[in-house]
Amino acid sequence: MRRVGWITRDTEVERNYWLNCQKPASQFFVRTNPGYVEGNGLLTLVPFDGPNLSEGMRRFGASQARRRVSSLKSRLGMETHRRLPLGRIGKMLRDAPLFRQLPDWDLDHLAEVVQVVHHLPGQHVIRKGEPGDAMYVIADGAAFIQVPGEGGEELLIDEIATGEAFGEMALLAGEPRSASVRAASELTLLRIGREPFLKLLAADRDLRDAIWDAYVMRSFRSYMLGVKRFAHLDAQARMRWIRGGRRVEIAAGGQHEPTEASFVFVAAGRVDVERGSDWIALTAPALVEIGGPTKITSAAGAVLSLLGRPEAGAATGGGAAA
């Protein structure tokens, strides 16, 4: 190792991604080089000999050929698919944390309806505002989750990698895509259409709960980026806050009185909040502080997360956070 004085210019999102990435290479790098953001780095030397040069050229040629084919199909408006054995698709699904609790029978059935899709770096998989017709599991590669910034640029809110799922939010809520997803590297995805996805949820309560919990956390993470009141909370503190919450579903026409909560996050649906003489109508995503007896009503159903107070001494005061 050698101190070179360069400082890594990564964002808070990128830093948290690498610190929590489950890839063995990333874990090794962070474990052996915890001060990488201070300007230190690891240097890996590979012998420049015949076998290594030959293998490098072979891999480079194959990668370039795949890029040209995929680029041509993209320009022609064709989706790029790959054919994979059902057994390999099943293993990819089994390796994804979201589906690990499913029995082999359900995984084998799901593998039969999965579509394998390939994207080149920089290509959009989904765009904010599009209708949600499928969810995805990353079989190989990494992707950026982005939302429009105030100046029209795309703001990075998360990076996801192999085994992680996305796109389920629009399917669950029946609403347009809440964010864009763009390939950060060559990306192989397992695409699961709306109908088989909803059938799977109806048949497996544990999976349904796991996906709704992931939905709430992802919705909260995106929403909190625009809340100045809690700007002092870093990404990890915000995630600890929402993980400590309790998810509550209100049926159409139902009510809930959150007696034990300090805040309520409306993750999906629309609600009316009555606090004494105050009345507020909220549409997800929204965060409201509870002060005294409160009654929440939803005409068409909603999903809430009941939260305590965040760490780091958040400011107090009534009303919805905005």
Q: Which domains does the chain have, with CATH numbers?
A: 79-203 (2.60.120.10), 226-321 (2.60.120.10)
Which pLDDT value is given to residue 13? 63
* pLDDT of 271: 93
What is 211-234 written as a DSSP string? HHHHHHHHHHHHHHTT-GGGTTS-
CA–CA gap between residue 20 and residue 14 (Å, rounded)? 10
What's residue 318's pLDDT? 37
> Would you state the pLDDT for residue 42?
59
pLDDT for position 311: 80
Q: Would you list the DSSP string of 61-107? A: HHHHHHHHHHHHHHHTT---B----HHHHHHHHHHSGGGTTS-HHHH
- Cβ neighbour number for residue 231 with a 10 Å cutoff: 10
Kindly give the parts of the chain with pLDDT less than 50. 1-2, 76-80, 313-320, 322
List phi, psi (to 5°) of 165. Answer: -110, 155
pLDDT at 257: 92
What local confidence, expressed as pLDDT, does residue 291 receive?
Answer: 77
Report pLDDT for 39.
60
**Per-residue confidence (pLDDT) for residue 17, from 0 to 100:** 67
What's the confidence (pLDDT) of residue 247? 94
